[in-house]
Amino acid sequence: MRELSAGHLMPLCVFDIFPDGTTQVPSDTALTGPGAYRWWHFDISNQEFPEWATKRLAEIPAQALMQPETRPRCDQYEDGLILNLRGINLNEGQDTDQMVSVRMWVEDRALITVRVRRVFAIEEIRTLAEAQKAPATPAAFLEALINRLTTRIQTEVQSIGKLTQFYEDDLDDQDTKPPKDLPDVRRSVIRLRRYLEPQRAALKQLAVLDLPLIPAPDGLRLRELANRTTIAVEELDALKERLITVQEEHDQHVANQQARHGYVLSLAAAVFLPLGFLTGLFGVNIAGMPGMQSPNAFWILCAGMIGLAFVMLGILRLFRWF
């Protein structure tokens, strides 16, 4: 992207997009251009962006684009649209569930997108624009972007679904230890659900807005994308419950093992407690202990203790302790 002449504003990219999808890079910093619409794409860290946005946009959409923290939203402002969306984080070294955000202001002849971290869905549209195959209208741009964001979300949810099925299949093997990454997967589902529920509501609102920049056919396609997001949210709800069930099954298995071990120790203690009493009693070194002068006393005591052990086992069996 070459430097723009007026004020040396440096967006990540800017294109004048024409009705046939061809593009050209403008040399001015006006909000609109000669094409069907002008697409501006900024990083929120751009120091020139706040002044540029404040001068060219109304206060509310300008502030919406500059907010450091956002949640998915869809609000009509006059004849324009404030839209915030989230996507799967595909940046190297970062967790996929730490979703990336894109802030948008859309009107009939201008479309502004602002990012905090790299959004790969935006990068794909930028590649299309550089190849002279850009979405021909703002509504087509929204459809292309939301479709890419939603597809990546569905792929991530399906990946978690496969992992959950693997965990469930492992429950059949009682010797399988709880998966070490199970808590991380559960947290991932919670984080995704946190953003996708408001995103579902935002896309549903977008699909029914009565705006000239979103014709009826585009509204139908946006409604379908909203439905796909709803399905992803419902699947996350199901995955959350399934993962809780998997965790509870493993916890119950561990509890059963501990109870079984405690039961065995209790039986051993019940048998050896009287034997320990006898050995302690006959181990005292005081005069008058029976058998001290008899060479067979030790073997008699051992036989008596064995007999007593069998008696104790019989009593435990009689009371159905085992």
Domain assignment present for 301:
no
Domain assignment present for 176:
yes
Q: What is the mean pLDDT of the chain?
A: 86
How far apart are the C-alpha atoms of 19 and 138, rounded to whole Å? 10
Q: Which of 122, 102, 85, 119 is nearest to 199 (CA)?
A: 85
DSSP state of 178: P
Domain assignment present for 302:
no
Q: Which of 162, 40, 164 is nearest to 102 (CA)?
A: 40
Q: What is the number of domains present in the chain?
A: 1
Domain assignment present for 303:
no
Kindly report the number of other CB atoms within 10 A of residue 137's CB atom.
20
Domain assignment present for 48:
yes
Token output for 25: 């890079």
At 302, the pLDDT band (50, 70, 90 cuts) reads confident
pLDDT, average across residues 236-240:
94
β-bridge mates for residue 42, sequence order = 114
Helix axes 138-170, 182-208, angle to 10 degrees: 150
Q: 């709800």: which residue's tokens? A: 237
How far apart are the C-alpha atoms of 230 and 154, rounded to whole Å? 10
Domain assignment present for 34:
yes
Whether the pLDDT of residue 69 is over 90: the answer is no
How far apart are the C-alpha atoms of 153 and 214, rounded to whole Å? 24
* pLDDT at residue 10, rounded to an integer: 83
Total-model pTM: 0.78
Domain assignment present for 81:
yes
Domain assignment present for 262:
no
Question: Which three-class secondary structure state does DSSP give residue 17?
Answer: strand
Domain that residue 153 falls in? 13-253
- CATH code at 187? 3.30.460.20
Token output for 208: 């029914």
